[in-house]
């Protein structure tokens, strides 16, 4: 007995291959209380950092190239980039071979217009063809400004950014906002001959998507709502399909038994 069309079509949809997602690294944090942000120079805007803001500002996702430190040896035999952060937030420079190159490169961003007390998730998504180790950390402003290693890393990165085209007019006002710094530390998870022979390795660029995703009622990320809705629809349909398949298989078994009985007679 052939499978009925009304059963075969849903079955093909359920067993169809799904697209493979890219590699992902993330951090989850709660937004701090709003605090006065001076608008007089120097300001946070003077750092020229990339800014991520939650919806509805439509600036919650950024596709950019992130700098990653090139490996100097066989991955697994050198320092693990995911665990080489000192307690003060600094990186352990160099590797077991005595190289003076940094173990990771930092990229800094600004998380602005957050809702105080709300949970957020920042995800880094990149292609599997660029094996990279990422460490993603969110800091409030007092932590960064009171930690020498963090403020030094922030200043070093800000100095690599091009200046703004036109300076903003001076102001003595201030605004109140929940703002955080985001540090993305990256190291390549593969080795090239040029990296091994270079004492001060240049960073490699990794194309990645940086996504700021707010939690709904501090329970689930907003990006998972379509998945939850899909499961809510598919689950009962799967139950109905399973019952229909069971009835069809029982009918097939009954026909086989009837044919077997007729042959025996």
Based on the fold, state whether residues 214 and 199 are members of the same structural domain.
yes
Confidence (pLDDT) at 77: 40
Residues 250 and 142 in one domain: no
Does 214 share its domain with 250? Answer: no
Shared domain check, 255 and 211: no
pLDDT recorded at residue 76: 45
- At 72 the pLDDT is 60
80 with 164, same domain: the answer is: yes
Structural domain that includes position 10: 5-15+225-264
Which pLDDT tens digits describe the chain residue by residue (265 residues)?
A: 555 555 555 555 555 545 555 689 999 999 999 998 877 666 888 889 999 998 766 688 999 999 998 876 544 444 444 445 565 666 655 444 444 455 889 999 999 999 999 999 999 999 988 899 999 999 999 999 999 999 999 999 999 988 765 555 555 567 889 999 999 999 988 776 555 545 556 788 999 999 999 999 999 888 888 888 888 888 888 888 888 888 888 888 877 777 777 777 6
Number of independent structural domains in the chain:
2
Q: Give yes or no: residues 129 and 205 share one domain.
A: yes
Q: Is residue 182 located within the same domain as residue 88?
A: yes
In terms of domains, do 245 and 140 share one?
no
Q: How do residues 141-198 score in pLDDT, each as one tens digit?
A: 999 999 999 999 999 999 998 876 555 555 556 788 999 999 999 998 877 655 554 5
* Residues 10 and 30 reside in one and the same domain: no
- Three-state SS sequence of the chain: CCCCHHHHHHHHHHHCCCCCCCEEEEEEEECCCCEEEECCCCCHHHHCCCEEECCCCCECEEEEEEEEECCCCCCCCCCCCCCCECCCCCECCCCCCCCCCCCCEEEEEEEEEECCCCEEEEEEEECCCCCEEEEEEEEEHHHHHHCHHHHHHHHHHHHCCCCCCCCCCCCCCEEEEEEEEEEEEEEECCCCHHHHHCCCCCCEEEEEEEEEEEEECCCEEHHHHHHHHHHHHHHHHHHHHHHHHHHHHHHHHHHHHHHHHHHHC
Q: What is the pLDDT of residue 194?
A: 56
């Amino acid at each position: 007995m052939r499978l009925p069309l009304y059963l075969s079509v849903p079955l093909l949809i359920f067993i169809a291959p799904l697209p493979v997602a890219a590699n992902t690294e993330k951090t989850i944090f709660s937004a701090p209380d709003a605090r006065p942000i001076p608008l007089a120079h120097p300001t946070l805007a003077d750092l020229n950092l990339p800014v991520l803001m939650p919806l509805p500002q439509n600036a919650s996702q950024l596709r950019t190239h992130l700098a990653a430190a090139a490996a100097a040896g066989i991955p697994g035999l050198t320092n693990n980039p995911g665990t080489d952060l000192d307690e003060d937030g600094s990186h352990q420079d160099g590797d077991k071979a005595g190289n003076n190159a940094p173990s990771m490169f930092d990229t800094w961003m600004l998380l602005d217009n957050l809702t105080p007390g709300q949970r957020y998730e920042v995800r880094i998504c990149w292609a599997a063809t660029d094996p990279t180790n990422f460490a993603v950390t969110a800091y409030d402003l007092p932590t960064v400004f009171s930690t020498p290693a963090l403020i030094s890393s922030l200043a070093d990165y800000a100095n690599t950014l091009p200046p703004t085209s036109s300076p903003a007019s001076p102001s003595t006002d201030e605004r109140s906002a929940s703002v955080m710094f985001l540090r993305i530390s990256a190291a390549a998870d593969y080795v090239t001959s040029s990296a091994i022979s270079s004492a001060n390795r240049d960073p490699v660029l990794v194309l990645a998507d940086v996504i700021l995703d707010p939690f709904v009622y501090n329970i689930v990320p907003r990006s998972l709502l379509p998945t939850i809705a899909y499961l809510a629809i598919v689950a009962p349909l799967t139950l109905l399909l399973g019952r229909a398949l069971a009835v069809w298989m029982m009918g097939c078994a009954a026909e086989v038994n009837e044919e077997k009985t007729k042959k025996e007679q």
